[in-house]
Chain A
């Protein structure tokens, strides 16, 4: 196996990667626990287990780059720099939330950070990413756009249309397929016809299949794809095979999964465990470094939940604002 370029990341970058992945994990584990108390309204789709994708991709991006996300968007938000306190407050429907409590889990966004929104519509994001890429190209910002989508979205016409449009318009857009094996409760082995890489290649877009639990593999592949696209090489495609630890939404009993499937995933191929092992075995980071990050992250999430719970709800006057700029 060739040496991963990501293993040559600076100590600072490795710590950043771990901090972001740990933040996503802790955020989701905590939302899972708090959701069960009934205090979080609506419904949430958790990203735990898929951290290497969001972080491995977004580490190559800056605020001039945009991403379009999915209903399972918390990880993308954190990796793209959304404020964690604001996200938690948003999930609780608070006025102090990142979207003033009007969006909720499925619509968290921060356009100023290039995060164009989680998205309640499966397949809704890919055309938006093409638009962000068009803006970057037309305004010559040097930016790229990433369209995250799951195996479910891969079957939507919007995904196919966007890939074709990206090729025809030569857009700086990278399509990232987060294939967690289930489109809601339906196995992708049944619902996805043909081969994802060949589909992309059919549109003239080169694709790479990567182990989505391996941060280093994702970081390497995303780095190459984004570099290629950013330098004018046209759209790129990544097929990340990964798994989610929780159901399609919180409350999903997951009767469609094998007994012990998630426990085995957590024990054998957990993204964070693998990261820890790799960096400590290679003596790039020490256990103390990682434990320090764990403590920091735990404190941040604790504080986010505490603050969100005590924050004010929006007022009735807020119902009518922000529909239009002028009307």
Chain B
């Protein structure tokens, strides 16, 4: 056990799985970088350095730099997965999914079903997402709701370095196609991460904090924000549960329902655009299945329905934060309870 960054945790998961299973190969734009140029062969190791050093360890046959050709290499990863490899493809920014979406949602996601259960596609697509990097509209989106919408895909959003390592190892060992979302603002976040490999199962939410008054569900970087909000609210005498579902597909709805039945209040925090996102999805399911348990209307904390802006002043305004989450919790505490209304 030692302190590792989110970046190191992911690098270690890749290295350990490549060590364990020779069928694991990684590919992507600049995941080594520098090939054919006069300087270092492994010049970049991914645009933010996540895969640095892997080419030296595993060679060019298993660490495959690609041309900037998202449809080509994501499709190749899908085809290779059908034929015995376990590819981990890095699609630099999730915003670029628009270029290669067909290969993910019409091809990889549907092979198993379309082929009557006679195909296995052990493919992982790692991708960066999220605002806060001053990267503007085409490099800052979340987009995981779109992938959650597609049957056949699994969708993972790690919220810390420990989570990232265990969930990525699970993703690589999983036999279904997985899209793995890494928040770009989190790469330098550090925490204690075991040195040995470990897998965190999909579809099992993490109870980050247990409380009695309000349930907060948050994803990815928002888990940290929600925890900060819960900390502040505790000082005001409001006790919050914070749940990190870890995966949006499968979604551990039973854990969320269980918590809502205890607290009677729900705040959903989702950095994705507010229409048809995880907050609206979970809100609908909770309303359908636990309406009787709710003491107050469900609150959702999401950005406004705009592209991600560039100007720091605007981007800071755009992204949900601990203050906005705390305000939503206070609002749900103030709302008249059902009993009072009756």
Contacts and interface: CB of A to CB of B under 8 A. Distances in A.
Interface of A: 66, 68, 97-103, 107, 109-112, 116-117, 119-121, 124, 126-132, 134-136, 138-139, 145, 157-158, 161-162, 164-165, 168-169, 321-327
B106 A168 contact: no
Interface string B97-124: 0000011001100111111111110000
B330 interface: no
Contacts of B23: 139
A66 B164 CA distance: 35
Interface string B61-92: 11010110101111111111111110100000
B79 A109 contact: no
A126, A128, A162: most-surrounded residue (chain B CB, <10 A): A128
18 contacts: A99-B114, A103-B116, A107-B114, A117-B114, A119-B107, A124-B75, A131-B85, A134-B25, A138-B61, A145-B79, A158-B71, A158-B102, A162-B75, A165-B73, A169-B64, A322-B113, A324-B112, A326-B176
Contact of B116 (A98, A121, A129): A98
- Interface pairs A-B: 9 shortest CB-CB: A127-B75, A131-B79, A100-B116, A161-B72, A128-B79, A322-B117, A99-B116, A135-B83, A131-B80
B194 interface: no
A323 B175 CA distance: 12
A131 B76 contact: yes
B154 interface: yes
Contacts of A130: 72, 75-76, 79
Contacts of B102: 121, 124, 158
A126, A135, A145: most-surrounded residue (chain B CB, <10 A): A135
A99 B103 contact: no
Given A97-B116, A109-B114, A145-B79, 14 more contacts: A66-B83, A99-B116, A102-B116, A107-B110, A121-B107, A126-B75, A127-B79, A134-B25, A135-B80, A135-B84, A164-B67, A168-B67, A324-B154, A325-B174
Contacts of A136: 83
B21 to A, nearest CB: 12
Interface of B: 23, 25, 61-62, 64, 66-67, 69, 71-85, 87, 102-103, 106-107, 110-120, 151-152, 154, 174-176, 203, 250
B103 A124 contact: yes
A134 B118 contact: no
Contacts of A161: 67, 69, 71-72
A103 B103 contact: no
Contact of B75 (A145, A158, A326): A158
Contacts of B175: 325-326
B68 to A, nearest CB: 10
Contact of A131 (B61, B82, B176): B82
A127 B72 contact: yes
Contacts of B115: 99, 102-103, 107, 109, 111, 117
Contact of A321 (B81, B117, B152): B117
A128 B78 contact: yes
A176 B85 CA distance: 24
Given A121-B102, A121-B107, A130-B79, A325 B118 contact: no
Contacts of A321: 117
Contacts of B64: 134, 169
Nearest to A165: B72
Contacts of A103: 114-116
Contacts of B25: 134, 138
B116 A124 contact: no
A109 B119 contact: yes
B112 A327 contact: no
A322 to B, nearest CB: 4
Given A128-B75, A161-B71, A165-B76, A99 B82 contact: no
Given A121-B107, A165-B73, A131 B67 contact: no
Contacts of B74: 127
B114 A135 contact: no
A170 B119 CA distance: 26
Nearest to A129: B79
Contact of B112 (A98, A131, A322): A322
B109 to A, nearest CB: 9
B80 A110 contact: no
A325 B122 CA distance: 10
A134 B80 contact: yes
Contacts of B82: 66, 111, 116, 128, 131-132, 135
Nearest to B110: A107
Contacts of B116: 97-103, 322
A131 B78 contact: yes
Contact of A102 (B107, B113, B154, B250): B113
A165 B78 contact: no
B118 A162 contact: no
Contact of B176 (A97, A126, A169, A325): A325
Contacts of B151: 323
A131 B69 contact: no
Nearest to B175: A325
Contact of A110 (B61, B87, B111, B118): B118
B118 A99 contact: yes
A130 B72 CA distance: 8
A321 B114 CA distance: 11
Nearest to B65: A168
A97 to B, nearest CB: 7
A112 B176 contact: no
A120 B69 contact: no
Contacts of B250: 327
Contacts of B80: 131-132, 134-135, 138
A132 B69 CA distance: 17
A134 B75 contact: no
B83 A131 contact: yes
A127 B76 contact: yes
A40 B42 CA distance: 55
Given A102-B114, A138-B62, A324-B176, A128 B85 contact: no
